[in-house]
Amino acid sequence: MGFRQAYESWLSDSYFDEETKNELRSIKDDEAEIEDRFYKELEFGTGGLRGVLGAGTNRMNVYTVRKATQGLANYIKKKGGQDKGVAISYDSRRMSPEFADVAALCLNANGIKAYVSDTLRPVPQLSFAVRKYGCIAGIMITASHNPPEYNGYKCYWEDGAQVTSPMDVEIIDEVRSVEKFSDALTMELSEAKEKGLYIPFGRELDDEYTEELKKLIIHPEVIREVAGDLKIVYTPFHGAGNVPVRRILQELGFQNVYIVPEQEEPDPDFTTLAYPNPEDPKAFELALKLAKEKDADIVMATDPDADRLGIYAKDAKTGEYIGFTGNMSGMLIAEYRIRELAALGRLPKNGALIKTIVSSNLADPIAEDYGLKLIEVLTGFKYIGEQIKWFEEKPDQFPYEYVFGYEESYGCLVGTHARDKDGVAAVMCLAEVAAFCKKQGITVWDQMINIYNKYGYFKEGIHTLTLKGIDGAEQIKAIMEKIRQNPPKAFGELTVKEFRDYKKGPEVTGLPVSNVLYFDLSNQSWCCVRPSGTEPKIKFYMGVKGSSLKDAEEKLEALKKEVIAMA
């Protein structure tokens, strides 16, 4: 069926509501818009759905969400897991509560219980809920840090992590096998509640989650000692982090926590932000203004679904606030926890530090220094969650104990209460790091420099090309193939020591098949290319090691120019 035919079928089919049809009638003269909405079905990928909100097969709407959920329900029934139920949560985006209910009622109509959050809650709490309620799966309605016109649907399995191979492909096949939108089942909310299929959850989950986080604190006595002096600015970027972050910091005793008032309340339009992403320095404008007013020691922000954390820390010498990359904040938490656990004799002898292949190589010497097993996985936090599962389920094959896991895109996990990145726990742990630094008479930035001085000045960067629509997808594919077929032998003065094409699979790379190209370069440098799994982007990652901050910055800039030229 062509895109115009698909468009006309939505207008004529009584299954689609009048509001949807009116939206479609409003674009009747815009051929390009009709094509973009109907040239394909919104793809249910390895992480679920993500797309622009609106009517059409290539949009996030109640129909695409229900159809995807029917495929998931079919898979759950094939696996015999329908009695376990599914946990569902959502963030502050447009249509998030509605999509949560659409998914729940589709599951209910298939005889599957749904445990549904009674208000917005972040990704880590959804992961925690899957495990607490003994569910077979979980659904998180979120588009993470995407612009406000997006929403999405992340799929989790019973271990609390996002689904991995081969399950992800099997679920995709089930979703694709639901041929018609009208094949997706649903039922009335009142009936679902009456039958005990729709089960709201709330405060009791918050209480248990908060208690689990408190167990992760290493030095509560230090927090109590400096809590009256340390000043923290926090912003939830209008998202789901506000309540759990404020609660955990308050219960730990931090007395000077200042919330950015303009970004405190949920706002699906993210009115104060062009892009609700802690990677974007412009997103910190209001937080940094407040930090200067309060003379804050540290500034922290979580993205709308509160799985990622961005920070700025004050440089005592200049009085300026310095932004940290996800690699820097991840390593700051990791180094602190590993060092202090070792000092207390609590660091596991078989401990493992896990990172993704595009994350900082600063992890390598830290792991070596403390005798930890360093494990590299593909990009995507689900692969870190998968490692934790293997540690627990296959101890003979994977004889390790989880210590810390992180990825360059501002996500990490302390503890195993959840199996996805946890921005709430990351805020808590960085607040503890800041307290520890305060007691030592240094700043968080001073401590970052101490780490560099000890292990080397590792610095990383990323270059992203956004290429939207049909033509953009083809361009991304063409760029990947061009590099794959003719990989460079050098990047300026840096020679290629090894080129790895992860499409060749585990026999060649030791990791699952993935559309990723990696260049191991001389002088402990590297670069990597991959299409984004959730956005119309191709990403170029790179890293260097320098003899000083300035030297590392210069080396990174030189490598970046060469990498951009490759595209």
Phi/psi of residue 376, each to 5°? -105, 140
Which CATH number is associated with domain 40-201?
3.40.120.10
Is it true that 40-201 and 457-566 share their CATH fold? no
524: exposed, middle or buried (Cβ count in 10 Å: 0-12, 13-18, 19+)? middle
Annotated active-site residue in 144, 329, 409, 525: 144
- Which residue ranges of the chain lie beneath pLDDT 50? none
Which CATH number is associated with domain 457-566?
3.30.310.50
Is the bond preceding residue 166 a cis peptide, omega within 30 degrees?
yes
- CA–CA gap between residue 8 and residue 24 (Å, rounded): 9
182 is an active site residue: no
Which CATH number is associated with domain 207-455?
3.40.120.10
Residue 380 near residue 356, CB atoms below 8 Å: yes
Q: Note the pLDDT of residue 536.
A: 84
- CA–CA gap between residue 488 and residue 486 (Å, rounded): 6
- This prediction has a pTM of 0.96
Strands (E), 131-290: 137-141, 150-157, 198-201, 231-235, 256-259
Q: Note the pLDDT of residue 475.
A: 94
Residue 297 near residue 227, CB atoms below 8 Å: no
| Domain ranges, ordered by start, for the chain | 40-201, 207-455, 457-566
- SS3 assignment, position 536: coil
Tokens 């979980």 — which residue?
Answer: 138
Q: Note the pLDDT of residue 468.
A: 85
Residue 89 near residue 117, CB atoms below 8 Å: yes
- CA–CA gap between residue 419 and residue 118 (Å, rounded): 22
- CA–CA gap between residue 392 and residue 222 (Å, rounded): 32
Q: What is the DSSP string of 319-388?
A: --EEEE-HHHHHHHHHHHHHHHHHHTT-S-TTEEEEEETTS-TTHHHHHHHTTPEEEEE-SSTHHHHHHH
Phi/psi of residue 517, each to 5°? -120, 130
Tokens 């949009």 — which residue?
Answer: 59
Q: Note the pLDDT of residue 1.
A: 78
| Closest among 245, 64, 125 to 140, alpha carbons compared | 125
